[in-house]
Structure 1
């Protein structure tokens, strides 16, 4: 049998086997994997156990130190929490216990923490944020949050979270504001935030809590106020919709507020349509109080002093403007209405007010010229020796707004001021006041004022004013006296240029003048005292020797004003039988008079004491002292009455100085060199003021239509004419003479 060609391989020797195992270079030879797998299994098991243990024993408080450090660095003040709870998921909820935020640097003396809360919980919709749909906060819950908001008198505050040591960052322009997060439920329990603002003299507590949504009732935010605001006690109760309702553009957001700040009371009730996008409101605002000036703390809008008011209207707003529209109510004894628009974003704030009244009492507007409005204040003013308002014009408050005010008072009700209506147009810009129009109607005439007040560096005002008196009815002007009769018109101008901070100081430092002319007509017994600004009645007339009922023929007052001193170029008053000339000064700095008037009969007259009368002392209550001539005539009369009674009338007889052209000369001078700087012109008639051909008899020419209104004196004039005539019995002469002596 042939031998086999292939023999069976002999078993490997131990050496060959060991070489194969230890030789990694041989491709067909690999290490066994069983020990590696076993090791991996052990590691995996350990890790699984550790993960299970970590899940079982995980505590988020491990991150509390990190959270404290990061929050303190972000808020630039110490922050600490006691516990941290996190519920991860597509909506992650984070809760902290015992939140404490300390006061920042410089406010360590504050007794309370800047902020704290027993527990604070916030939920975030992580998935919405990761998918680029914005920030959604489904839940904000605060348990017993407290705060301490403080602003010091030097401007420092504890609610600015910037680094005090950092350099100010450059402002970036053109960047769009970050979108507001979508907020769901807000739950606040026992909130108490103290607000202390030194500049506003405010220290009050804002108490906040929320009510949940219930069957038939929406969720609300409730705010209560208590403490002091702008130095006055404040209480308030405000109920509004939830924050979730605030973002619902399809549902009106409800508001119901009641606030009392001292004596000022305000309510606001209604709803706001889509408040985040300024889609309009249905709000009714009502406020009442003793003085609108007290509203400055609540509104930031400076308002002059007013009497008690009660006003209601509609409140609306846009992104840039707040409007109080169609409001109406009472202010003192006047009604008030109109619309006020405010643009609070403007610096300074911009205010546009269009106001009107059907019936207005001018004393209710006294605060607009620095006087105190109301009857009580008026009575106090009458007891004072000073009659010019000295209340300073508040420059800082004027700088707080740029305002445009128009006012239309249809009918003026004031027994002491027989004016018919008032129209005003006033602008305040950068502290400067421009009076474009302040017009009063008096019958067919007008009393019109215009001017400006420009502020200076020392809280004073540089001013210039002009008052135009045009065709002012003397009868209407003297309506309050109930004694004036007949016709006549007053015309002319008053100018003033000065520096001061009140009406009293402006007049006391002023330059300018007064040029006034009166056409013929009227009863001088009521006219003269008021034209001279004196409320001493017939005592002056009696001292002047002017009969109680004298027909006014001509009046010219041309008086320049220099440094608060009103002197006299011309002062002439002519009646049907007397001519009175005046001279001297009126000191508006201290409101005193040093004046004299001299009266002469223009024809033969009996029972009259002609001569000079001195008027001096305070404007409110001057002293009237007869001059030497009057005293001498009275003494001579008394002596003759004893020595030779039949001659008792001799000192009272005047043969007259003649009527002459005194009125014509005074009018010519006033028209050529008027003290006011403006010619009277046509202010007393339809054309240029001229002297009629009857000037020689003391009459100043008037518009022809006035001629038919000239009175013949009536019964009173007839009585006086008879008393001045020659047909008197001795008894009548003696009675008239005794009366005149008592009056003088």
Structure 2
């Protein structure tokens, strides 16, 4: 190959190499120039301390924040050597026009060292060192709760949560923090001061103190943050804080990586007071009132989540343990809790439905009864905090080993609670009772007014002998069981109001079984049989119950018997009347009609009168008195033995069909064995009592 050919091939390659070399050289030259300019700029800033940037800083920050930013004295802004050094004497940042103070921030001196790379490449702001002299910070919300003083820029943009920079070390002299939140009725004023720590391991102690009020309830706050001296590595700060207010005392202690850096910090909390609800009220969270409490917990913060673990303590006479987290998804407070109690005292459960915890603590169970308009009332009428429920969401799983209650064998309580934008669901709420199981779903819809509550309560068969044992009955000889269903819907802000307006049905069903003779016979007032068995010492001979139904139809808070019907081997027991959720009055009449002959049988209606809180049994009804009068008349005219005739029941009742009874059917569907209507509960078309069957005459006299 000739030299001419080689040169033709190498020429373009040589030119490309020369071009590449020239471009690389140019790039390196440009890079070197930029680096040189940066070094020069850094050197100029370092030498001049950036003082010449003062007017540019004021103008730029004023335009960016739409606030007036001014530095009255010395100003420094430069890299030292990598981190940003900022110093300003007499720095002021104005407040928006609606605020109660002129300035959002003002200080005599602010001298700080800010980490550069987190500021440029991450969302967090880390302050390595802060020296603040006579600094005042005003954090304030407007009355609508839609604007605040720390959201800079466009006044129409949504308010932002306060984002405190992470301060590693600080020295603060004569500085104040002011916070106002009118929509929460909350205000606080704190003063900060750095003093020499007494502990040789620490060089400075930032102490803070002050107070304020929450919903017109005052509180006090004090504490200290001790920073280690140069011989202690790690840059950690020891925190001790105490807050006292509204009958609560809260102590927090632990170690922080920085003065304001609680991220990942392992802290301890101890809270005690008269009512746990008043403590949560500071968070804007509504929980049921409690009696006196004392709780301890570990807690830490991970990003936007506060975790409370190892929670243990007591409230009233009950214990409590578990864990809780507080988060802010979509800028809305959310509480998740998983709690347990080995033993829950009934007095501590009372406030969950609206009873006054202080009254229960003072009076015990009788504290649930109040006198209203001269009448005793037991249904709680404490109003639901509808406004509070709108402020947060919640999920709770709560388990109880045993309920401490004198006359109710209740255990294994389980509750799942969900609150989603004012829709509160207690679903399911379950517990074991007397060998049976209760399951309920209660839904409280507070999204509109009035508040609507739906109750659906199901009771699987429970052993009557166990259930009645603590009321004086004996389980021996009793195999009867009971199941029930309650479905009601009502409106109102309290339990009393919702039930006083409720519509629905209540049904208690008793399948076949045996009951202790004494209890059954007494309820039927079959005096002759009872006395006979008493003298024969046969008090515990079982009596057969074929089927029974105690049911009420509820309309606008008034419950009418629909029906009360119990079929035994000896009697058909029927009832009429009802009760009222409005004034809690009782007006029932129970009557037993014998199937077989029985002397000394007072088959007249037994009156159940009075109120829920003070029921009264009245066996001496008008009809019974009339029969007694007739007997006395006979005794006077004929002989004392003839008086017995007035109390003889010829036994003409027919057995009922148990199918409709066990199905919980209404009164109109109940039938006797022969298909006829049951006399004890049948009504005429106008709702009045139908005439009872004409009784068989005895000896042609009655």
TM-score, normalising length from structure 2? 0.72
* 2:322 counterpart SS class: strand
2:578 to 573, 585, 607: 585
Larger C-alpha radius of gyration, 1 or 2? Answer: 1
Task: State the shift of 1:483 in Å.
Answer: 3.9
2:291 to 307, 327, 335: 307
Instruction: List aligned pairs for 1:185-204, cutoff 5 A.
Output: 185-204=169-188
Q: In structure 1, what is the equivalent of residue 210 of structure 2? A: 225
Task: State the shift of 1:517 in Å.
Answer: 1.2
For residues 383 and 445 of structure 2, what CA distance do their matches in structure 1 show? Answer: 14
Q: In structure 1, what is the equivalent of residue 689 of structure 2? A: none
For residues 63 and 279 of structure 1, what CA distance do their matches in structure 2 show? Answer: 35
CA-to-partner distance for each residue in 1:266-322, whole Å, 9 max, x for gaps?
112223568999874432221112222112233343321122111112213322422
Instruction: List aligned pairs for 1:48-67, cutoff 5 A.
Output: none
Residues 1:168 and 1:446: Cα distance change in structure 2 (over 3 Å)? closer
Q: In structure 1, what is the equivalent of residue 107 of structure 2? A: 117
**Does the alignment pair 1:503 with 2:495?**
yes
CA-to-partner distance for each residue in 1:538-577, whole Å, 9 max, x for gaps?
9x87799995978654342133334433222331346676
Residues 1:469 and 1:88: Cα distance change in structure 2 (over 3 Å)? closer
CA-to-partner distance for each residue in 1:5-34, whole Å, 9 max, x for gaps?
xxxxxxxxxxxxxxxxxxxxxxxxxxxxxx
Residues 1:125 and 1:197: Cα distance change in structure 2 (over 3 Å)? closer
Instruction: List aligned pairs for 1:13-412, cutoff 5 A.
Output: 75-78=65-68, 80-84=70-74, 95-107=87-99, 110=101, 114-122=104-112, 139-155=129-145, 157=147, 159-163=149-153, 168=157, 185-211=169-195, 215-240=200-225, 242=227, 250=234, 253-272=237-256, 280-373=264-357, 374-376=360-362, 378-384=365-371, 385-412=376-403
Q: Which has the bigger relative contact order, CA under 8 A and spacing at least 6? A: 1
CA-to-partner distance for each residue in 1:212-244, whole Å, 9 max, x for gaps?
688521544332231223422211223235599
* 2:355 counterpart SS class: coil
Q: Whose strand proportion is higher, 1 or 2?
A: 2
CA-to-partner distance for each residue in 1:237-269, whole Å, 9 max, x for gaps?
232355999xx9956553322111221111122
**Does the alignment pair 1:611 with 2:604?**
yes
For residues 73 and 564 of structure 1, what CA distance do their matches in structure 2 show? Answer: 64
For residues 559 and 128 of structure 1, what CA distance do their matches in structure 2 show? Answer: 70
For residues 65 and 229 of structure 2, what CA distance do their matches in structure 1 show? Answer: 27
Does the CA contact (< 8 Å) of 1:122 and 1:140 recur in 2? Answer: yes
Equivalent residue pairs, number? 593
Q: In structure 1, what is the equivalent of residue 460 of structure 2? A: 470
For residues 346 and 543 of structure 1, what CA distance do their matches in structure 2 show? Answer: 68
Does the CA contact (< 8 Å) of 1:552 and 1:574 recur in 2? Answer: no
1:430 to 401, 411, 421: 421
Task: State the shift of 1:197 in Å.
Answer: 1.6
Does the CA contact (< 8 Å) of 2:223 and 2:240 recur in 1? Answer: yes
C-alpha RMSD over aligned residues: 4.5
For residues 517 and 184 of structure 2, what CA distance do their matches in structure 1 show? Answer: 56
CA-to-partner distance for each residue in 1:457-505, whole Å, 9 max, x for gaps?
2151252x33222231222222332344432343323131414243323
For residues 496 and 242 of structure 2, what CA distance do their matches in structure 1 show? Answer: 41
Q: In structure 2, what is the equivalent of residue 709 of structure 1? A: none
Residues 1:489 and 1:504: Cα distance change in structure 2 (over 3 Å)? farther
Instruction: List aligned pairs for 1:452-463, cutoff 5 A.
Output: 452-463=443-454
Q: In structure 2, what is the equivalent of residue 737 of structure 1? A: none
Q: In structure 2, what is the equivalent of residue 12 of structure 1? A: none
* 1:295 counterpart SS class: helix
For residues 587 and 94 of structure 2, what CA distance do their matches in structure 1 show? Answer: 71
Task: State the shift of 1:330 in Å.
Answer: 0.9
* 2:111 counterpart SS class: strand
Task: State the shift of 1:640 in Å.
Answer: 4.7
1:598 to 588, 591, 597: 591
Q: Structure 2 regions of 5+ residues with no counterpart?
A: 1-47, 532-538, 674-702
Does the CA contact (< 8 Å) of 2:630 and 2:646 recur in 1? Answer: no
Q: Structure 1 regions of 5+ residues with no counterpart?
A: 1-57, 172-178, 529-537, 680-690, 692-744
Residues 1:300 and 1:358: Cα distance change in structure 2 (over 3 Å)? same
Does the CA contact (< 8 Å) of 2:196 and 2:204 recur in 1? Answer: yes
Does the CA contact (< 8 Å) of 1:603 and 1:654 recur in 2? Answer: no
Does the CA contact (< 8 Å) of 1:583 and 1:596 recur in 2? Answer: yes
Does the CA contact (< 8 Å) of 2:166 and 2:258 recur in 1? Answer: no
Q: In structure 1, what is the equivalent of residue 14 of structure 2? A: none
Task: State the shift of 1:346 in Å.
Answer: 4.4
Residues 1:183 and 1:586: Cα distance change in structure 2 (over 3 Å)? closer
For residues 460 and 184 of structure 1, what CA distance do their matches in structure 2 show? Answer: 49
Residues 1:200 and 1:88: Cα distance change in structure 2 (over 3 Å)? closer
Task: State the shift of 1:337 in Å.
Answer: 0.7
For residues 433 and 382 of structure 1, what CA distance do their matches in structure 2 show? Answer: 27
